[in-house]
Amino acid sequence: MISKRNAKAVSAALLMMGTFAAFSQEIPSLKNTFKNDFGIGTALNNGQIEERDPKMTEMIVRQFNRATPENVMKSALIHPKWDTYDFVVPDKLIEFGKKHNIKINGHTLIWHSQLPSFIRGIHSKDSIQTFFTNHIQTVAGRYKDNIFSWDVVNEALNEDGTLRKTVFLDYLGEGYLAEAFRLTQQAAPNVELYYNDYNNEQPAKRAGCISLIKKIQASGARIDGVGIQGHWHVGKVPLKDIEESILQYAALGLKVMFTELDIEVLPRNFQGADVNQRVASNPDLNPYTAGLPDNVQQQLAADYEALFKLFLKHKDKVTRVTFWGVNDGNSWLNGWPVRGRTNYPLLFDRENQPKPAFYKVIALKK
């Protein structure tokens, strides 16, 4: 027979066990796990910024302490007409960051892609220079007190390390690079300033990236960090090149960050993230519509584990790791370079549930 007193004690113990069970089943948090190592970020789309789905918001806030707008701060969206800016969603992103204690990385001020359509009608150096200056002053100036960092220039390099031919290079010459940093620094003196690119861990492009950074530094403009986007392919993550790049960029006095991490699992015959490269749709290129085979899932997990091991080894140099999307369903890789595919490049599945890769990454800190 259990006395009344004992019954109380038993029910209290059961309650505690229940709480413990609920607690132990709780999904670990990336941002907490790596809180002494580096920031953990995600790209956010409009729905996520506007908090349309409370469960999604809860998950974002639990997992991430850094965010980059996937699209809404790109010039075509934030500066649609010569003298018109659209700050509605970008302002919401700033509020989202304040409310949830998430530092915002602005993406991006100067990029040849996703430019406003009026640029195509401009054919004079003076007008391009005016657009360039006004754009940086207005956008960087508006967020000078509530954004943590800017990708000042994005993807200015070709694969061989030479400068990409863009409207900015054509009209303004290569001095546009240092000028972008100088103007941003002037407009937002307390914000960190980065150069961001994909494949800039590859030796030739890395050499071009280093020479670009040195020129910016020699001009007297400030540059605080370099972003390696990290759009890689399963089973082919170039760990040696990544490590060498961390060391070489850090030797220039820069912070290093992985800014758009995802590991693609579907077939593709080229590397990188040039949004203009497209491939026609074909069922052979979309093999996993019914789910990811276990061997690929395991390889993806091993790749993420190896990457995070490397990031941890260099945590004194790596300041942030940002995933390009919250979950597999949000990823741009479902639509590029082939439209309408089912891709699995991130740590969370389409229901926001952690994948084996997530647990491998978390286990590195156990």
Q: What mask, x for binding ligand 9MR by CB under 6 A, covers residues 300 to 319?
A: --------------------
Residue-level length of the chain: 366
Q: Are 234 and 299 in contact (CB under 8 A)?
A: yes
Q: Are 251 and 314 in contact (CB under 8 A)?
A: no
Task: Decide whether 33 or 154 has the Cβ nearer to ligand 9MR.
Answer: 154
* Position among 6, 114, 211, 353 found at the interface with ligand 9MR (CB under 6 A): 114
Q: What mask, x for binding ligand 9MR by CB under 6 A, covers residues 68 to 97?
A: --xx--------------------------
Q: How far is the CB of 363 from ligand 9MR (least distance, A)?
A: 29
Q: Helix (H) and strand (E) counts for the chain?
A: 13, 9
Show contacts with ligand 9MR in window 156-175 (CB under 6 A). none
Q: Which residues of 216-226 are buried (b: 16+ CB within 10 A; e: fewer)?
A: bbeeebebbbb
How big is the site for ligand 9MR, counted in residues (CB under 6 A)?
Answer: 11
Q: Are strands 192-197 and 231-233 parallel, antiparallel or unpaired?
A: unpaired
Q: Are 161 and 111 in contact (CB under 8 A)?
A: no
Q: How far is the CB of 331 from ligand 9MR (least distance, A)?
A: 8
Look at residues 168, 172, 171, 144 and name the one whose alpha carbon lies nearest to residue 156.
168
Q: Is 258 in the site for ligand 9MR (CB under 6 A)?
A: no
Q: Is 229 in the site for ligand 9MR (CB under 6 A)?
A: yes
Task: Decide whether 15 or 275 has the Cβ nearer to ligand 9MR.
Answer: 275
Task: Decide whether 113 or 127 has the Cβ nearer to ligand 9MR.
Answer: 113
Q: Is 194 in the site for ligand 9MR (CB under 6 A)?
A: no
Return d(Cα 182, Cα 187) in angstroms, integer. 9
Return d(Cα 128, Cα 170) in angstroms, integer. 10
Q: Cα-flanking dihedrals φ and ψ of residue 303, to 5°? A: -65, -45
Show contacts with ligand 9MR in window 27-56 (CB under 6 A). none
Return d(Cα 310, Cα 258) in angstroms, integer. 12
Return d(Cα 75, Cα 26) in angstroms, integer. 40
Q: Is 275 in the site for ligand 9MR (CB under 6 A)?
A: yes
* Nearest residue (beta carbon) to ligand 9MR: 332
Which residues, 6 or more positions from 91, have their beta carbon under 8 angstroms from its beta carbon? none
Q: How far is the CB of 259 from ligand 9MR (least distance, A)?
A: 8
Query: What DSSP assignment string belongs to 129-151?
Result: HHHHHHHHHHHHHHTTTT-SEEE
Q: How far is the CB of 154 from ligand 9MR (least distance, A)?
A: 6
List C-alpha distances in Å: 40 to 62, 63, 90, 181, 333.
11, 8, 20, 25, 20
Q: How far is the CB of 209 from ligand 9MR (least distance, A)?
A: 15
Task: Decide whether 131 or 332 has the Cβ nearer to ligand 9MR.
Answer: 332
Task: Decide whether 73 or 213 has the Cβ nearer to ligand 9MR.
Answer: 73
297 is written with which tokens? 């899932």
Alpha helices, H only, 69-124: 75-78, 88-100
| Catalytic (active-site) positions | 155, 260
Task: Decide whether 113 or 286 has the Cβ nearer to ligand 9MR.
Answer: 113
Q: What mask, x for binding ligand 9MR by CB under 6 A, covers residues 53 to 72?
A: -----------------xx-
Q: How far is the CB of 239 from ligand 9MR (least distance, A)?
A: 21
* Position among 37, 260, 305, 328 found at the interface with ligand 9MR (CB under 6 A): 260
| Site for ligand 9MR, rule CB under 6 A | 70-71, 113-114, 154, 198, 229, 260, 273, 275, 332
